[in-house]
Structure 1
Amino acid sequence: MIEKIQHFDANLFLKINRGMANPFFDWLLPLMRNPYFWAPLYIFIIAFCIIQYKKTGCYLIAVLLLTVGLSDLTASRIIKPLVSRPRPCNEITLVNDIMPRVRCGTGLSFPSAHATNHFAIAVFLIFVFYSRWKAILPIGLAWAAIISFSQIYVGVHYPIDVVAGSLLGICIGLICGKIFKTLQPEF
């Protein structure tokens, strides 16, 4: 059963990594997974929350940082070492088939920490701001999804890594959103 799932996952990975190859994605998707590309957005979120909501905004940023810390710790330090799945770009059986678009790295694959972290951020912000700004739902989910999908396209994660990371991030984002709403019920 596990072998069938891994075979399916590798085939789907190759359909995305090779089958969807095009110059536009080759340019765009490596950018989407680069944290420096998103630095202005992160700075905006921090500044907006502090300027707009003052002390409550500081609490919001503190819980958002807790969200990122928990998601990264859970994915990278707890689950990845337990599962020990190599990245597809480090998988001997795929070395001749893969189209690497970024440096592979030596890290492990399951779950995708990018997917975990960005879905945790998106869901936390959706949970906190949805009553004030409904558009955050599709924007936040699309943002996290494109970052997560790019992990497959560039060759560093299998689809199941991304799905698992996304689900983990959603759970962490919801939990941390509830923590924030409990601490700041008037928000």
Structure 2
Amino acid sequence: MVGATMRNTWIPFYALLIGWLIFQYRKQAFGLVLTLVLAVVLSDQMASAVMKPLTLRLRPCHEPALQKLIHPVLECGGTYGFASSHAANTFALAMALWLLIGKRFGWVRWVFLWAAVVSYSRIYVGAHYPLDVLAGAGIGVIMAVLCVNGYQYVQKRFDRVRK
């Protein structure tokens, strides 16, 4: 779980995904990758810059009443944990991929399993409560839907201009 929760663990996966999208989609790849990045960035900011300062909910590893019950395996991280940025980011990526290419490539559904494992790892290492992770996943899904809808709108507008 420690490996799953570390962001650097997944850099090869992200690089492989971007390379595959470029190979598979060539000219469309820029828009697809930009949509994925935008979904992740917006979900991250919604969780970190909006929800955490708004709710001020302590992470389990910072909660004084839980200190004797929790044995964190990593440094605790920031003071506040609602909502999980890891969950928001991974579910934003999974949902955006699904909406963009899931009909063509069924294997994309497995990216949701990856997002779930990364999200669960945040509970396992004592950084989040289950509700933090569920809220983060919800934020990620919503941001992905918004970004993909925006991408499809822009794509339709450009298609009309080209005709």
What is the TM-score of this pair, normalised by structure 2?
A: 0.91
Shift in CA distance, 106/127, structure 1 to aligned 2, threshold 3 Å: same
Please say if residues 89 and 100 of structure 1, whose CA atoms lie closer than 8 Å, have aligned partners that are also in contact. yes
SS at match of 2:136: helix
Cα RMSD after superposing both structures? 1.3
Matched, 1:148 2:119: yes
Unaligned residue ranges in structure 1 (runs of 5+): 1-28
SS at match of 1:135: helix
Please say if residues 90 and 140 of structure 2, whose CA atoms lie closer than 8 Å, have aligned partners that are also in contact. yes
Larger displacement relative to structure 2 (44-53 or 120-129): 44-53
Matched, 1:168 2:124: no
Matched, 1:63 2:35: yes
Please say if residues 56 and 184 of structure 1, whose CA atoms lie closer than 8 Å, have aligned partners that are also in contact. no
Please point out which of 71, 76, 86 is paired with 2:58: 86
| Corresponding position of 1:159 | 130
Q: In structure 2, what residue type is equivalent to 1:116? A: A
Shift of 1:184: 3.1
Please say if residues 40 and 140 of structure 2, whose CA atoms lie closer than 8 Å, have aligned partners that are also in contact. no
| Corresponding position of 1:72 | 44
Percent identity, aligned pairs only, is: 38
Between the two proteins, the alignment pairs up a number of residues equal to: 157
Unaligned residue ranges in structure 2 (runs of 5+): none
Please say if residues 43 and 89 of structure 2, whose CA atoms lie closer than 8 Å, have aligned partners that are also in contact. yes
Shift of 1:180: 2.1
What is the TM-score of this pair, normalised by structure 1?
A: 0.80
Larger displacement relative to structure 2 (82-91 or 48-57): 48-57
| Corresponding position of 1:26 | none
